[in-house]
Amino acid sequence: MLAISLPIACGPVSQNPAVVANLANRSAGTSESSISTADMNRNIAAAAMTQGSSSASDYQIGPEDLLEITLFNIPEIYGMERQQMTPRLTTVRVSQQGLISLPVLGAISVKGLTVAALEQRLRQAYDKYIHDPQVGVSIKEFRQRASVIGAVQKPGVIELTGPKTVIEVLAMAGGVTEKAGSQVHIYRQGLNGRETHVIDVAVLANSIGLINANNAESINMPVQPGDMINVPEAGMFFVDGVVHKPGSYPLGRRYSLTQALATAGGVDSELNSSDVSIFRRTGPGKAETLAYDLDAILAGSAADPQIHPDDVIILPISTTKYIVKRFIGQLISGISIGSIAGS
């Protein structure tokens, strides 16, 4: 499922809100061919040092993390009249199933929660036993991982020893290679299914000072446990949405839109919408959204557009088809072939 948010000048695309793809502004007057890999890596390293780590509030708790949980207002009774509030500290490691076990409460699911969200959950749970419970949670050990693939110097698994941004993880992977393009793709399992984020790091080619209010959020995107960060080689295009094999593909020859969709395994005819969007940069700090009617292209009544390097092709899900497949389809599947034949 997809939603694309571009720089303010390009406006948002609201066809299918579940994945955010950010195309940050690239530096003014810098052509794609003039981007230096050495400059890119030097500025990736500098950005990783100067921008600072992602806020701990963004970090999602996962298996093997060690948590320290404090209940601040446990009443202690002394004699008949004296009462004192005493904090209780519990240290617990998250299981592989994302569970922790606490006195009184038993097993609590914490996987995917931030510290603030877990504090809220525990306050609600302890409220049955303690008046106005005050709960504090801190992470003593970070044990999560993300992976980096594609055109980086040291692809592989990265230990997230605390909150990290995409730029920091790229620096930990040694930076990009000379074959790298200007985009970074982040694949993530979200609450509503697979998410894809696309950011453009070419803004770092000349100076980290080019990070501004329009692109800082995407450049400093926090990495979540389990993320796969892909740096496609130059001359690639990206397809996502209701295709059978979403991902990045080399643009080794001239591709039309229908050929690009076929390369991505073809569309899921049970779920696809006729609307197709192509997100394409048109110049320094500019990008445009190109909208096409796939049914019209397949029928021959509209031209089949050519794909350019770094194009992001989005085929959104059809809400109507989704409802039919997920709900009405389940009802139909309960009718036997024999009963249909005999009707």
32-77 pLDDT, tens digit per residue, is 444 577 877 887 887 777 655 556 677 888 888 999 999 887 765 5
Per-residue pLDDT at 253: 74
Of residues 287 and 83, more confidently modeled: 287
Q: Is 125 exposed, middle or buried (0-12, 13-18, 19+ CB in 10 A)?
A: middle
CATH fit for domain 3-58+144-322, picks 3.40.50.11310, 3.40.50.150, 3.30.830.10, 3.10.560.10 = 3.10.560.10
- pLDDT tens across 191-218, in order? 777 788 888 776 665 555 555 556 566 6
- Please report where in the chains the tokens 């693939």 appear, as a residue: 149
- pLDDT tens across 270-323, in order? 666 788 999 887 765 567 889 999 999 999 999 999 999 888 898 887 655 444
Of residues 190 and 106, more confidently modeled: 106
Of residues 60 and 82, more confidently modeled: 60
- Quick one: average pLDDT of 210-235? 76
For residue 206, the Cα-to-chain-centroid distance in whole angstroms is 26
Q: Tell whether the model's pLDDT for residue 232 goes beyond 80.
A: yes
Residues 248, 250, 252, CA angle at the centre, nearest 5°? 160
Q: Which strand ranges, in their side-by-side order, compose the sheet holding 312-315? A: 247-250, 236-241, 312-315, 275-283, 286-293
- pLDDT tens across 99-155, in order? 999 988 999 999 888 899 999 999 999 988 888 888 999 998 888 889 999 999 999
3-state secondary structure 6-33: CCCCCCEECCCCCCEECCCCCCCCCCHH
CA dist 237 and 231 (Å) reads: 12
CA dist 171 and 219 (Å) reads: 13
Beta-bridge mates of residue 93: 66
CATH fit for domain 66-141, picks 3.20.20.140, 3.30.1950.10, 2.40.128.20, 3.30.830.10 = 3.30.1950.10
Residues 6+ apart with CB under 8 A from 77: 83
| Cβ-contact 203, 182 below 8 angstroms | no
Beta-bridge mates of residue 76: 84
Q: Tell whether the model's pLDDT for residue 81 goes beyond 90.
A: no
Q: Tell whether the model's pLDDT for residue 4 goes beyond 80.
A: no
Cα atoms in the Cβ-side hemisphere of radius 13 Å centred on 126: 22
Percentage above 90 pLDDT, the chain: 29
Q: Tell whether the model's pLDDT for residue 233 goes beyond 80.
A: yes
Q: Tell whether the model's pLDDT for residue 31 goes beyond 90.
A: no
- Of 15-24, 50-59, 230-239, minimum mean pLDDT range: 15-24
Ranges of each domain in the chain: 3-58+144-322, 66-141
